[in-house]
Every structure is written in structure tokens, then in C-alpha cells.
Amino acid sequence: MDLTSLARSYARYRSFRLQHLDAERAQQQQLMRLLKTAKHTRFGHDHGFESIRSVTQYQRAVPLRSYEDFRRDYWHENFPHIAGATWPETIRQFAISGATASDQYKLIPCSSAIMRSHLRAIWELISQHLLARPESRVLGGSNLVLYGSRELREIAPGIVSCDLTGLGSEDVPRWLRHFRFLPRDVEMLVDWESKIDLLARQALGGNIRAVAGYPSWLLFFFDRLARAAGRPEARVAELLPNLELIVHGGVHHGPYRALFERIMEGSRAELRETYAASEAFLAVGDREFGAGMRLLLDNGIFYEFVPVAEIASLHPTRHWIADVQTGCEYAVILTTCAGLWSYVLGDTVRFVDLAPPRLVVSGRLGVWLNTFGEHLIQGQLEEAVAQAAGAIARGVTDYTSFGVVPAHPGLAGQHHFVIEFSPPVTDALQIARFASVLDQALCRLNGAYRGLRENDKVLAPPLISSAGAGTFHAWMKQRGRVGGQNKVARVLDDAALQASLLRLVAAN
């Protein structure tokens, strides 16, 4: 069965709709519908939803809240029974969401409405691919998602939690499941590494048309695919000859780009970026790589954007799509059809276009390398690492960083970067070149860093530890953090975790 022609018709229809979509009006409509739906919830009564008629009134009535605020103020008493608290529907599913900068998990409510929103976003993704590649037959075979655990945990009678990808697979319409590559023996495996090995063996040479996942896990899968074929240096084109689409997201793609270009050499597959979180599916790439992702404005989500510098203030400036500007760093605030109201997502973005609104994800709130007052944000780290890797013609499988406080007064501090290169780098001159370009890039990107680096008085040049192949995977596995929803923190503040990682680096 090949439904690509049907999807192509929808893509043309969607293209027409997007050409005539008024961003401001679409967002106003989304907000008003959400308020109407939830006006009889406890949250709706507390915040006067009945009388709100504009975005400005909404922002005055509803303050910004974190996950912990919702859990404490509206969900805690009867959790996980939260129907009527912030959303009228009985919530029977919760997505397990892991914060990138800590080991804490959150349970995100997943209403039937938000699951439909996720599914519509996937159709948007397919549409954008077909508009760019009219000859594609992406639905002429199977798609493979490097999902997290599909183990449903019953947290109360009739209420379950799971990784979002696991929940989502249950909500896919039965007729669409035909396109999902998910052998039963693979599906039942709990161990992530064994699952990927078996998945690779069974997918080898198959009619796989699309693959999706975090960049690091995609690379891990492609490596296992090549090993299963007995050809470690084989390219994707040889292993999955029918592959047409590689969907990536979740982390900044820059450091991985050289690796993808190498393994995709000769493949007809295209890379397409997405911006999806457990809370909502926000944006899809609709142009070439690096041109930003188009914000999904008519999909059950209302967006606000707060300048990063103001996020901790009592009365931050709350922009929405009507008055955002390009080039500014914003914290993302979501109001969703699952009962999150002006919810601080934790991501930071920067708009690269306004007509239509397109953005790039620049980092995470609270993910700062700031041991000495340098205030390096995640986006600056990502960009600098990508530039330095390019200077030595290497890819980066993963990396993290942390500050090293001097042992004695008068000595300069230092930033320690642990980098897993691909291919591995052991040559001291190459490592020195990487460190030099990284340092120069950070000086260009951040004035505070540049000032601290003057004459090496406060801050010495960065220290680079080149990790052996598989080091980060082994470290994540050691911590029980292997799986499709787990990411390596770009700034590692925990001294014990730093020590455990460096022990592995030394051992490898």
C-alpha cells in the first residue's frame, strides 16, 4: 500500500492554507478556543476565563508558571487524577519527560486533544517533505522512529505513563500503523541497546522510507546498521537504499552535521528538522537546513515569548506572535490543549523570519556555563563546538562542558570540554587546533568571555579531553539514561557526574 499520492494532495491543500494564514489572527483564535474549552475548570474559574476577550487580558490574568507550580498548585492533591483542574478532560496518559540539565523527570499531561495535535504536526512534516520532494514515495514503505521505552507504567487504575513516543504509537490510527516499522520481537524488548541492535538487523536492506530520532541516536543506529551488515564504513545509501527522509530534532544539529553529511553521501534522503517537546509539537522545517523551522500556529497551541534576560523578573515582557522580533533570545511560553497555561517550557529560541514566523532553537533556560561570570549560553557553546569541529574536519558524536575552579588564588580558571569526535582524535596538534578555534569562536560570540580571557589572567584557554568512541553511550548507560528521550547535558554542573565521566574517558 502506498498512500503518498493521497499525502501529496493534502500537502498541496496545506500549502494553499499556509499561504493565506494570518499569523496573528490564527494565534488569537487558538487562545480563545482554549479559554472557552477550559472556562469551567478550577484554573479557568481562578483566572476569570469567562471574561477574557484579548491576548492582553489573558496575559494580565494568567502569570507564568513552571511545571513545579502546576504540580504544586493544581495537580498535587489528587495526582494523577487531574480532570477539571486545568483541563476538562480526564487525563489517562502522561508523558515522561527528562530535563536535559538534571536527572529529574516530569509527568506531562497528554490529553486526547494534544495527541491529535502531535499527529497533525507529523502530517505537516510529511507535507513539507513532499512539497520539497514531489517525486518522493515516502509512504510507499515503512517508517522507523527511534522511540524511547514503550513500557506503559500504570500509575493509577486506568492511567499510564510512558515516553511520548511510546504513547504516540498507541494513538496512531490503525490504518497508519501499516507504515510503522516495529517488529513484535523488537517492540517487546526493554533494553534499549539490545532493541537497537535487533532493530538494525531487521531493518537492514528493508523498505524503510523514513527514520526519525535525536541526532546522536540516529548516528548510533546507523553505526549498528553498518555493523549488522559487516561493513562498518558503509554509507546509509548502501544500507537503506529506499530511505527518503531523516527527521531529527531535540538538540542543536550543528556539531553533528559533518557526520551526517559523510554517512549520507550518495543517499537520496533529505534531512528535515523538527521542534517537538513532550508538552507540544511546535515547529517543522519548511526550507533548507539552517533557514529555521516554521512555527505551527493553528494546531491547538498559543505561544508567548519572554526575553531571556527577563525570565526571572516579577513582571517580564510577554511578547506573542504579533510583536516578536528577529535576532532576540526568547524563552518559550506555551498554552496548550492539555491544560498548560503560560507554561515556561525551558527552551530558548531566536526568530530568523517573521513572514511567516520561523525560528531556531538556541538552548535551554538555566543551561549556562557561568563559573566565572562568562554567561555562555547553550547556543553559543553549540555554535563554537561546531566551528571548531569543522576546522579539523571532524564530526562530534556528543560533548559536555564544565568550569574548573583554580586550586590556588591567583591562578586562572578553565573550561573543560569533553568531546567524542568521529572519527576519534588522538593527535595533540589537532586537539590544540580544536581548542584554539573553539576559544576564538567563544570570544567572538560572547563579550564577557572575551573580557575574562584577556591575558589569561582570570580564564585560561579551554581544556579538551578527547573521548574514545562509545564513551558517552557507556556513561549514559551507566546512569540508566539510555533511550530515545535521553540527551547528554551540554553543561555538567554535578561534580560526581563530572568525575564519573572523566574516569570513563581515562579508561577508554
Half-sphere exposure of 310 (CA within 13 A, CB side): 15
CA distance 70 to 75: 6
DSSP 8-state class, residue 206:
S
C-alpha cell at 501: 565521566
Q: For the domain with range 21-112+277-364, which CATH number is right: 3.30.1450.10, 3.30.200.20, 3.90.1150.180, 3.40.50.12780?
A: 3.40.50.12780
At 288, give phi and psi (nearest 5°): -65, 160
Length of the chain: 508
pLDDT for res 409: 63
Is 150 a residue whose pLDDT tops 80?
A: no
CA distance 444 to 430: 21
Is 280 a residue whose pLDDT tops 50?
A: yes
pLDDT in tens, 7-48: 999 999 999 999 999 999 999 999 999 999 999 999 999 999
CA distance 354 to 289: 17
Is 178 a residue whose pLDDT tops 80?
A: no
Q: Residue 128 forms beta bridges with which residues? A: none
Q: Is the pTM of this model over 0.85?
A: no
Strand bridging mode 142-145 / 376-377: unpaired
CA distance 504 to 470: 10
pLDDT for res 479: 87
Is 406 a residue whose pLDDT tops 90?
A: no
pLDDT for res 104: 56
Q: Residue 376 forms beta bridges with which residues? A: 369
Average model confidence (pLDDT) for the chain? 88
Q: How confident is the model at residue 430 (pLDDT cuts 50, 70, 90)?
A: very high
Residue 190 DSSP SS3? coil
- Stretch among 19-28, 56-65, 171-180, 418-427 having the lowest mean pLDDT: 171-180
pLDDT top residue among 480 and 72: 72
pLDDT in tens, 453-487: 987 878 999 999 999 999 998 999 888 777 656 78
- Is residue 232 exposed (0-12), middle (13-18) or buried (19+ Cβ within 10 Å)? exposed
pLDDT for res 181: 73
Strand bridging mode 463-467 / 301-307: unpaired
pLDDT in tens, 2-17: 788 989 999 999 999 9
pLDDT in tens, 236-272: 999 999 999 999 887 667 777 888 888 899 999 999 9
Is 171 a residue whose pLDDT tops 80?
A: no
pLDDT for res 3: 82
Task: Please give the share of the chain, as a percent, with pLDDT higher than 90.
Answer: 60
